[in-house]
Chain A
Amino acid sequence: MSRPKTVIVRYTTANRVNHWITAICFVLLMLSGLSMFHPMLFFLSGLFGGGQWTRAVHPWIGVVLLVSYLGLIVQFWRENLWHRDDVAWLKAARFVIANEEEGAPPVGRNNAGQKAVFWSMALLIPVLFFSGLVIWEVYFGDTTSIPVQRAAALIHSVAAIAAIIIWITHVYAAIWVRDSVRAMTQGYVTPGWAWRHHRKWLAEVASGQHGKHVVRKRP
């Protein structure tokens, strides 16, 4: 297969570093959180040095995640704004799922699925943060009433499960749509990738809307 010499920068270094800090926090939070959620997963607390360490470290990782995700929101909110064509794309999602992407309308920088992941995390992470503060026993155990803490624990669990399911979708989509992972590790995609998955974005890039520097020689 011809190997294109020209590539398009999709994620800047700042984008990628910010993304992977978020990713590491999310995975650690998921493992430590699940260990405190279901008895059959309590063994995961061993990864953190035991139950006491897991309990102690989980909320701090959550603080880092919130700050890190705020960084992602600042960097990505504009390109994730919802447009009318997103609805049309969602209606044609079955073509995308069946690997018949030609059947779906052309997509800009992000498709509706990517936007949905972005915005649901933008909602869930603050919910997890604030419900987590309420049940952060060491510092906030006496701040709220017990009924409030009960509600917070339930909300925290439900939001976490939702976030984990969204995360699985996000990870699988990155594996399924080949060369997406490289976009987030090395930062670039090929023109063919952009043509196949984000045709309107490619046109924008070609017209120079995103600046000249986004098109460069393959490293």
Chain B
Amino acid sequence: MSDLQSQDYVRRSASTMTPPKARSHEDQVAKLIDVSRCIGCKACQSACMEWNDLRQEIGHFEGSYENPSDLSPDVWTLMKFAEYENEQGNLEWLIRKDGCMHCEDPGCLKACPAPGAIVQYANGIVDFISDKCIGCGYCVKGCPFDIPRISKTDHKSYKCTLCSDRVSVGLEPACVKACPTGAIMFGSKSDMKDWAGERIEDLKSRGFDKAGLYDPPEVGGTHVMYVLHHADKPSLYSGLPDKPRISPVVGAWKGILKPLALVGIGLAALAGLFHWVTEGPNEVTEDDEAEGARVLGESKPEPETETTP
């Protein structure tokens, strides 16, 4: 996405200063995806393509309703279809709309080395400011949900923007507008949680006693949440992570190592400087030269020691 306005950042990648956040008196927003009401029509996928002007190259049929087969720089949301046989031996068709979860603590933003290439607005949306992206792929390593995709043509990273351009002018995301069953809702995060609570109660009354909200606390909660009939086993839904968290490897790489490395390099340089200041250079003396010439001369029949005038 382009940078629509830049005065309500709460987080900015690769920045050691507080980002501009004067205009931050905003509600936290959230998209709620109620998988129990999804009919798998892919209207959301079409609306996403339409609004964002994305066209994935036409691929091949892979024997699944999933089409295209994966997220890509041109596919920011994707319906995923899983067939699950429950304890009663009945088939359940678990359909999930995959895409960026807009984590409250975004792993992509933590990993990004380009200042301002990934930002989080005060409303919670995590956005890629693509002209600052350097195409390194660190966001791919930071993300606990395997969402960002790097383009092979322009070497930029892409993912769902939660229609930050629409939301900033008071519209709901395109997928929400297109959904014919109301399975995708959008509003303030607290409203969405309330609504999810009602839905979960309804599901429980209909036998889904493990129904619940997917708003994983390990990443500080997300601004895209799911109502799941099997909230105890999110991985049933085409591998939705059970306990998503920023990998501790990324945590070490982007946390303690950064200051430690600068201190280490600085200390090595300072050690050199102060060694020079205290001990000084190690210089060859005239005696050394005399001794050196003597040793060389012993084996050579020309013992003239010459001095320059």
Contacts and interface: CB of A to CB of B under 8 A. Distances in A.
Contact of A55 (B135, B252, B284): B135
A207 B284 contact: no
Contact of B113 (A42, A98, A169): A42
Interface stretch (B2-10, B53-61, B183-191, B289-297): B289-297
Contact of A178 (B135, B268, B284, B306): B284
A207 B258 CA distance: 52
B85 interface: no
B295 A195 contact: yes
A179 B305 contact: no
Contacts of A137: 135-137, 140, 150
A153 B253 contact: yes
B272 A191 contact: no
A52 to B, nearest CB: 5
Contacts of A141: 137, 140, 150
Contacts of B14: 39, 42
B246 to A, nearest CB: 10
B264 A3 contact: no
Interface in A159-179: 161, 164-165, 168-169, 171-172, 175-179
B268 A40 contact: no
How many chain A residues sit at the interface, stated as a range, is 35 or more
Interface string A199-214: 0001101111000000
Interface string A43-70: 0010000111011100000000000000
Contact of B282 (A42, A101, A169, A195): A101
B279 A4 contact: no
Interface in B119-156: 132, 134-138, 140-141, 146, 150, 152, 155
B281 interface: yes
B275 A172 contact: yes
Contact of B290 (A3, A138, A146, A192): A192
Nearest to B248: A150
A110 interface: no
A150 B141 contact: yes
B286 A191 contact: no
A38 to B, nearest CB: 5
B150 to A, nearest CB: 6
B170 interface: no
A5 B272 CA distance: 33
A178 B282 contact: yes
B300 interface: yes
Nearest to B134: A51
A203 B297 CA distance: 11
B171 interface: no
B276 interface: yes
B51 to A, nearest CB: 27
A5 B283 CA distance: 18
A105 B258 CA distance: 40
Given A37-B258, A42-B113, A191-B293, A178 B155 contact: no
Nearest to B144: A146
A5 B136 CA distance: 55
A157 interface: yes
B208 to A, nearest CB: 32
B299 interface: yes
Given A157-B261, A168-B272, A202-B296, A39 B15 contact: yes
B269 A168 contact: yes
B276 A150 contact: no
A191 B132 contact: no
A181 B137 CA distance: 40
A135 B283 CA distance: 45
A59 to B, nearest CB: 10
A154 B280 contact: no
A1 B265 contact: no
B140 A97 contact: no
A176 B281 contact: yes
A206 B296 contact: yes
B249 interface: yes
Interface string A72-90: 0000000000000000000
B294 to A, nearest CB: 9
B104 to A, nearest CB: 21
Contact of B296 (A39, A151, A191): A191
A193 B292 contact: yes
B6 to A, nearest CB: 17
A38 B136 contact: no
A6 B292 CA distance: 10
B138 A153 contact: yes
26 contacts: A2-B306, A4-B292, A37-B258, A37-B261, A39-B14, A54-B134, A98-B279, A137-B137, A137-B140, A146-B146, A150-B247, A153-B253, A157-B253, A161-B260, A165-B264, A171-B272, A176-B272, A176-B276, A178-B281, A178-B282, A191-B289, A192-B289, A192-B291, A194-B292, A195-B289, A202-B295
